[in-house]
Amino acid sequence: MSIVNIKINGKDHQPEIGENILKYALDQGIHIPNLCYDSRLTPSGACRMCIVQIEGRPGVHTACTMTAAEGLSIITDNKEIRALRKSTLELILSEHKTNCTSCDREGACQLQDYAYEYGAAEDKFPSIAATGDSGNYTAEGIAIGYDVEKCIRCMRCVKICAEVQHCEALTFQGRSGEVLVTTPFNMLLTDSSCEMCGQCLDTCPTGALYEKSALGKGRVRSLKKTRTTCLYCGVGCQLDLNVHRESGKLVKVTGETGIIPNDGNTCVKGRFGFDFIHREERLTTPLIREGDAFREADWEEALELVARRFSEIKKESGSDSLAGLSSAKSGNEDNYIMQKFVRSVLGTNNVDHCARLCHASTVAGLARAFGSGAMTNSIDELENTPLIFVIGSNTTECHPVMGIKIRKAVAEGRTKLIVADPRRISLTDIAHLHMQQKPGSDVALINAMMYTILDEKLSDEKFIKERTENFEVFIEAVKNCPPEFAEKVSGVKAEDIRKAARMYASAESASIVYSMGITQHTTGTDNVLSLANLAMLTGNVGKPYSGVNPLRGQNNVQGACDMGALPNVYPGYQKVVEPEIHKKFEKGWNAKLSDKVGLTVVEIMEGARKKEVRGLYVVGENPVLSDPDSNEVFEGLKNLDFLVVQDLFLTETAELADVVLPACSFAERDGTFTNTERRVQKYRRAVNAPGISKPDWEIICSIANKMGAPWAYFDVSEIMKEIASLTPIYGGISYGRIDDVGLQWPCTGTDHPGTKVLHQGKFARGLGKFHPVNFLAQKELPDHEYPLILTTGRMLQHWHTGTMTRKSKVLDEIVPIGYLEINPADAGKLGIEKGEEVSVSSRRGRIRVGVNITEKMAEGVVFLTFHFKESPANALTIAALDPLAKIPEFKACAVKVGKLSR
């Protein structure tokens, strides 16, 4: 980039050539008023407020549509400019009904600020403000309201919907004085292409767009903003919780542009999904089981009971009869303390968490191939990656803010997109190539791509030679899998597979993005190894804009793994079976530790059924709904001698507990989460905790104390100090350093800047290792009795077992109930009509659910989400495990769909 010399108000400046003048000036702290400008949007020059003079040119020009060029000299403020801006404001005010006294945006309204600054009169021109009596597209709708009287037609909402969210739900209707913002045919937002992200609310410079639930709940001066990290997916969006100073209630969630990773954007869950924190059903006090019911108890009694029972079981049946489930929803500090408690106080490595159910195969596969089981590259690289290969990830619904980055890159022509997914997802609409493979056929598909790459000599031989090993063994497996074979197995045309291979291999650099569609199979580790092979074969790893990028599902699933809430590793993936590591932790924690690998989630449940596990401590998980084959899980939990559940709500799992402990939500305490790009970020206390609930780590520490461990942590930053001292990849991370934008591990020392791209120059394990992978069919194939393949997953509006999102008013209103997605041909064969309730059954269970007939599904495949207890998908799924990662096959089992008998 070359620098040019310009003058602003007589002073010298050196912006980059072509830089937007308004953005540059604002970044430099030079005040230029603007109403239609948002750094996320292309400038439109519509509001005329940013007018400036250019020396040597007549008239005035809008700074937002001007780019830096050598010799440019501009004046941003003088009498003449001020007079013009004042008139412009007065014209805008004639369209805007100025009822600041009753407006929520009072004090946070750009129009009001400028009217004050320029002394603009509200009544200089006769009012032509539209009247709001005639309803508009939001009148009968959910969550978002539009007050046409306050709209100044700046177009920011329309543009952000098109350019940032890529939904194009909004448009201008009509022209000149009659222009309004609306949806096509004034349909409800929820009937349009809108995804309810609320970006329009956030960009509106006045009070025209507003959050219905926040109306009248407080103006900016009575709200306090607290920056925090989103609790939903692994993107780690930075959000501001706006809490009323007096009532202490959360009023709304906003974002701030320029902050990574989300640049002020959120999805529908981040925007509207946090009202659950104030729900009356929150647990406020410990509960102790008495017969069939619970009674309230104080902390002393509850903790005493927990400590006593755990100690008794340990004494009677040994440490390995106890187990703990940690949580990918709670912070790093909580997970660290939890696994430390299970390991050093209970004395067993039986600690695991739901990462077992999502990315265990990633951790197992990528660690074998590269030496580190995490996303190799960073989120912001996706916007400039020449080719993205999305496989088994419904990115726009499950990682929505990452999804909009991919959409943007494709829309602006920087990125070619290949999607491989058994369903037609939103990304397939913009993909340059969609391969609709059958669930469970991924290895064949990827092997066939590599067959083509080798066949057509498109591989990166230099990379293979210098950076990898085991190549010769690996090609033997690929040779067995020509595209014609893969076509038979996957249903994808051989020619499309070849095309994908050529596109991927010939791109300047290419990034693989994957998620549960790859990992949740009995061949999950094989799938991951295949993707690692593909990346190494073409040299697409260890450099920017490339890599193998697993998108982590939970806000802190990366962190929970990093913290060692896994049965085989201590924090930082240090193996429990390695004597030196074992010794290091015995010394560090001053305790005797087990050197035997512990049980995984599914094995713990099995152990419970067999009475081998007698006591279980569940922190922030709901295995009754989240784990496969839920009838068996239920049996296991019922079979336990002692079950402690620590959560926000009385979940389906908590209902089975002997003791229930009330935990604080993320909004009620401090801590850190680690997002999918390995960035350790803070979440901060914004509201008071309900009742006497406490942060997870405090509760666990109290139990540890009662069982004789002399732990004393003053706050979370002290725990992070201990983590850093024992965990090399977190060695340089401390609360002082992560306040602003966090740090990406590995960060090995206090002066280490963190790591954006892994495996540059050298893999974590030295050489990258190719693994021969042969195609194996899924565990349970469709047959005459169960002819359909069931695949499961998430939807945009809901989250996991629904404990939070189904208690959010807006999210529940948008999608109140689950449904089965089925192809029209399959529905036709069964004589099923839209919305009809049907029965879905597998060899393990049977549920009732309404159907949604859609072309999104391929014939022979049906889809269910696992959010709804009324139609629990996991009553049907199979607990067949990947042999290495022990991840269950959520993504494929055989079912039949039938009409309900009348």
Partner 1 sequence: MITTIDLEPVNKILAQIELSEKLTNGKIKPAYLIPLLQDIQDEYGYLPRKVLEHVSTISGIPLSRIFGVITFYEQFYMEPQGKHTIKCCRGTACHVKNGQKISDTISEILGIAEGETTEDGLFTFETVACLGTCFLAPVVMIDDQYFGNLTNSEITKIINKYSPKGDMP
Interacting residue ranges for partner 1, rule: CB under 8 A: 161-162, 168-175, 182-185, 192-193, 429, 432
Nearer CB in complex with partner 1: 175/465 = 175
Q: Which residue has the tokens 């982590």?
A: 552
Max Cα distance, the chain (Å): 92
The 8-class DSSP code of residue 268 comes to H
Token pair belonging to 502: 């050529």
**How many whole angstroms from its chain centre is CA 29?**
34
- Smallest separation (angstroms) from partner 1 to the CB of 98: 27
- Smallest separation (angstroms) from partner 1 to the CB of 389: 18
Nearer CB in complex with partner 1: 170/758 = 170
- Smallest separation (angstroms) from partner 1 to the CB of 177: 13
- Smallest separation (angstroms) from partner 1 to the CB of 432: 8
What is d(CA 227, CA 241) in angstroms, rounded to the nearest whole number? 6
Residue type, 539: G
Nearer CB in complex with partner 1: 130/548 = 130
Nearer CB in complex with partner 1: 183/538 = 183
Nearer CB in complex with partner 1: 41/637 = 41
- Smallest separation (angstroms) from partner 1 to the CB of 385: 19
Nearer CB in complex with partner 1: 119/135 = 135
Among candidate residues 406, 401, 445, the one with its CA nearest the CA of residue 422 = 445
362, 528 Cβ separation under 8 angstroms: yes
Sign of CA pseudo-dihedral 826, 828, 829, 835: positive
- Smallest separation (angstroms) from partner 1 to the CB of 605: 46
For 460-487, the DSSP string reads -HHHHHHHEE-HHHHHHHHHT--HHHHH
Token pair belonging to 821: 């997605």
What is d(CA 513, CA 766) in angstroms, rounded to the nearest whole number? 23
Nearer CB in complex with partner 1: 184/728 = 184
Nearer CB in complex with partner 1: 180/709 = 180
Q: Which helix or strand (DSSP H or E) is residue 114 part of?
A: helix 110-118
- Smallest separation (angstroms) from partner 1 to the CB of 410: 10
What is d(CA 808, CA 333) in angstroms, rounded to the nearest whole number? 27
For the chain, helix, strand, coil in percent to 5 are 35, 20, 45
Token pair belonging to 216: 């009248």
- Smallest separation (angstroms) from partner 1 to the CB of 493: 17
Which residues pair with residue 842 across a beta bridge? none
623, 639 Cβ separation under 8 angstroms: no
Nearer CB in complex with partner 1: 29/174 = 174
Token pair belonging to 831: 């004589």
What is d(CA 714, CA 699) in angstroms, rounded to the nearest whole number? 13
- Smallest separation (angstroms) from partner 1 to the CB of 209: 16
Token pair belonging to 558: 């990366």
Nearer CB in complex with partner 1: 839/852 = 852
What is d(CA 68, CA 530) in angstroms, rounded to the nearest whole number? 47
Cβ neighbours around 362 below 10 Å, total: 31
Cβ neighbours around 42 below 10 Å, total: 12
Token pair belonging to 323: 């187990």
Cβ neighbours around 260 below 10 Å, total: 17
Pair type for strands 6-8 and 679-683: unpaired
Nearer CB in complex with partner 1: 197/892 = 197
Cβ neighbours around 814 below 10 Å, total: 21
Nearer CB in complex with partner 1: 34/165 = 165
- Smallest separation (angstroms) from partner 1 to the CB of 192: 7
Nearer CB in complex with partner 1: 162/605 = 162
- Smallest separation (angstroms) from partner 1 to the CB of 167: 8
Q: Give Cβ neighbours of residue 893 (< 8 Å, ≥ 6 apart).
A: 778, 779, 780, 789, 790, 842, 876, 877, 878
- Smallest separation (angstroms) from partner 1 to the CB of 175: 5
Among candidate residues 389, 593, 409, the one with its CA nearest the CA of residue 499 = 389
- Smallest separation (angstroms) from partner 1 to the CB of 88: 23
Task: Phi first, then psi: give them for residue 675, nearest 5 degrees.
Answer: -85, -175
